Amino acid sequence: MEFGPGFWGPIVATIVMLAGAGLAGLALFGSRRIAKARPSIAKRSTYGCGEEVNPEEVTADSEQFYSPIRRIFKPFYKYIQPGHSGKLNTYLLWVVIGFVVLMVAIALVLR
Amino acid sequence: MIEVAPILAIIIPLMGSFLTPLISILTKRYKKERIRDLFVVAITIVTLLLVLHMLPTVWSGNIIVYRLGNWTPPWGICLAIDGLNILVALIVSGIAALVSIYSLMYMKKDTGLGKYYTLLLLILASMMGVTLTGDFFNLFVFFEIMSVSAYALVAFRRNWDSIEASIKYMVIGSLGASLVLLGISFTYSLVGSLNIADIAQKISIIGTNPLPPVLILILALMMTGFCIKIAMVPFHAWMPDAYQAAPSAVVALFAACTTTVGVYVMLRIVYTLFGVAALGVMLIVLGSVTMVVGALMALVQRNLKRLLAYSCISQVGYILLGVGFGTALGIEGGLFHLLNNAIYKALLFMCAGAILYRVGTCNLDELGGLSKNMPVTASLFTIGALAISGVPPFNGFASKWTIYIAGIQAGKAFFTLLAIIVSVLTLAYLLKAINAIFLGQRPKRFENIREAPMTMLFPMMLLAVLCIVLGVLPSLGIDIVTPAYNSLTNQYGYIHAVLGGI
């Protein structure tokens, strides 16, 4: 496989990416100097249901972080995720099912 | 080349593991435990040097055959080293050396380190044994030593979680081992031999088109046994529990090495033993399912180590997918991904260990803003995360790109598209991890957290450098895996070298 120019020139691409990142950094740095953000105290405060909460207590729930993706793959999370229950007998059932699937697949492919 | 180098690569870590308890007692008496730790590091480095010593011979196209007791195969036991297993031996010994250095500081707070280092060297010796042997029964014996050491290492901390995870791993692993043993027994009853080359020759005489029912059963038994070890879906369930509970240094070794060894054995069975490249379609489908299930499960995890464990499962899918395409480019891409996966997976688990070492938790909901306290670890984790997600210019991009091109060339556009989507999901769940650990608000109790010690950072830095080097110079990676590809597709070369024209 060729990794040279025309297909995927890694060295040239890396230099371009680094230069791009540098330029983006400079642009960000420059824009900050022009318009420095000055948030008011009210903006810096975080509110839950009307009450004020400490900033470190406000974190996105990591299980629900990609809830739209969870909605897209709803059947997967409804049927497959509960199978990862930590119960050994469920895991053993998976192994037995897997063995049968493998044997049938090998037979279908090689017979 | 030193003639006994192949056997030394197994015996030195094995003897080292037997000596470690003795050295541990002596050094404890004189309060010089550091000597024991350095002894273990020295053993792993010597093993790596022995593998490096064999590299030029194997890479020049030779197969090293070491006959134990000068008994001729197939009657005697032999070690057979070709391009495929030298690549695996290189990964195993290299990562084991880095893990032993990492353990110097990471395991310092633990007690019973004599047992830990004994098991570490034992698992290294067994992995080298599985990799280098040319005999199927020896492969099974070393595989069992590897598994038993792994169960003990998972339970090393002896808390509720680790013991439970170890028992689950042991039950499922033992079931897998029983299936492999059954497969070996059937093979022996069918062909009357345990030598891999001899079995391959006899199976080629029986013929694989169509494959007799008993060989289908043998193949299914063996593949199930080894698929449990590599945690291919649906045999994967033990892995997240075990990886979450085991010490991070151990998990880095498991993720990088035991998975690699498992994939190696599977490839050896499919290509060398049975010579059935037609199984590619099955590998593609199973690889794709593994990729998708691993990625979707990783997306919803709260614990970093559990997230990375599901990521491990997902990445194995890529390797199977590449190899399953069956083309030269696909197999090279799969093998290149095997190498890359070992590098960045070890790096990511070591980073998780560094966080756990300093902060005491891997729960993503409890972490935040640590880039201020641990900038080096944050940078190294980001490199590993970008590499595994296939972002250029890191090594993961080079191998994934090779697999994508191979998929399109093989006319498997759907599976290629699936692989690209899974790559995006990989980036998504690792960005979530980066955001949760290193960015955002830092809890007040983390204000005094310091950067991980240099002894832990050094192996991580080395792995990060490899991620960059193999990404910027992907031809180097392809050059490393090409001898492995040549060996994998040269079944008769292996048989001829081991049996010498018998």
- B489, two tokens: 């597709």
- Residues of B with Cβ-Cβ distance to A62 under 8 angstroms: 301-302, 364-365, 432, 436
Instruction: Give the range of the structural domain holding residue B297, as residue numbers without chain letter.
Output: 5-494
Residue among A100, A102, A103 with most chain B CBs within 10 A, to mutate = A102
Asked if the Cβ–Cβ distance from B332 to A10 is below 8 Å, we say no
As a whole number of angstroms, the distance between CA B230 and CA B407 comes to: 22
Would you state the pLDDT for residue B428? 93
Which residues fall within 8 angstroms of residue A19, CB to CB, at 6 or more apart?
none
Q: Answer whether residue B53 shows pLDDT above 60.
A: yes
B499 within a domain of the structure (yes/no): no
Which residues share a beta bridge with B133? Answer: B79
Would you state the pLDDT for residue A52? 77
Asked if the Cβ–Cβ distance from B220 to A63 is below 8 Å, we say no
**For residues A45 and B326, which has the higher predicted lDDT (pLDDT)?**
B326
What is the mean pLDDT of the segment spanning B357-375?
A: 91
Q: Answer whether residue A7 shows pLDDT above 60.
A: no
Question: Number of folded domains in chain B?
Answer: 1
Least confident range from A39-48, B277-286, B452-461: namely A39-48
Asked if the Cβ–Cβ distance from B237 to A76 is below 8 Å, we say no
What is the mean pLDDT of the segment spanning B260-286?
A: 87
Residue among B209, B224, B229 with most chain A CBs within 10 A, to mutate = B224
Would you state the pLDDT for residue A55? 62
Q: What is the mean pLDDT of chain A?
A: 79
What is the mean pLDDT of the segment spanning A59-69?
A: 77
pLDDT band at A6 (very low <50, low <70, confident <90, very high): very low
B502 within a domain of the structure (yes/no): no
What is the mean pLDDT of the segment spanning B408-429?
A: 93
As a whole number of angstroms, the distance between CA A95 and CA A97 comes to: 5
pLDDT band at A15 (very low <50, low <70, confident <90, very high): confident
What is the mean pLDDT of the segment spanning A68-76?
A: 87
B54 within a domain of the structure (yes/no): yes
B484 within a domain of the structure (yes/no): yes
Q: Which long-range contacts (CB under 8 A, 24 or more apart) does B16-21 make?
A: B16/B40, B16/B43, B16/B121, B16/B125, B17/B118, B17/B119, B17/B120, B17/B121, B17/B122, B17/B124, B17/B125, B18/B118, B20/B114, B20/B117, B20/B118, B20/B121, B21/B114, B21/B115, B21/B118
| Residue-wise DSSP of B26-44 | HHHHTT-HHHHHHHHHHHH
Asked if the Cβ–Cβ distance from B365 to A59 is below 8 Å, we say yes
Would you state the pLDDT for residue A36? 64
Which letter does DSSP use for residue B80 in this model? E
Would you state the pLDDT for residue A27? 85
Q: What is the mean pLDDT of chain B?
A: 92
Tell me the percentage of chain B whose pLDDT exceeds 70. 99
What is the mean pLDDT of the segment spanning B288-304?
A: 94
- Model pTM? 0.92
Residues B86-127 pLDDT 10s: 999 999 999 999 999 999 999 988 888 999 999 999 999 999
CA-to-CA separations, B398 to A27, A95, B325, B403, in angstroms, rounded: 30, 33, 17, 9
Q: Answer whether residue B469 shows pLDDT above 80.
A: yes
Q: Answer whether residue B135 shows pLDDT above 80.
A: yes
Q: Answer whether residue A5 shows pLDDT above 50.
A: no
Count of other CB atoms within 10 angstroms of residue B450: 8
B24 within a domain of the structure (yes/no): yes
- B255, two tokens: 């993720």
B373 within a domain of the structure (yes/no): yes
Which residues share a beta bridge with B81? Answer: B64
As a whole number of angstroms, the distance between CA A15 and CA B15 comes to: 48
Kindly list the domain boundaries of chain A, sorted by start residue.
Answer: 1-59, 61-111
Least confident range from A1-10, B161-170, B442-451: namely A1-10
pLDDT band at B326 (very low <50, low <70, confident <90, very high): confident
Would you state the pLDDT for residue A1? 52
Interface of A with B in 43-102 (CB under 8 A): 55-56, 58-63, 65-66, 69-70, 73, 76-77, 80-81, 83-84, 86, 88, 90-92, 94-95, 97-99, 101-102
Total residues belonging to chain B:
502
What is the mean pLDDT of the segment spanning B40-66?
A: 95
Q: β-pairing, A52-53 with B78-81?
A: unpaired
Asked if the Cβ–Cβ distance from B302 to A62 is below 8 Å, we say yes
What is the mean pLDDT of the segment spanning B372-377?
A: 94
Residue among B160, B167, B179, B282 with most chain A CBs within 10 A, to mutate = B282
Would you state the pLDDT for residue A12? 80
Cα–chain center distance at B398: 19
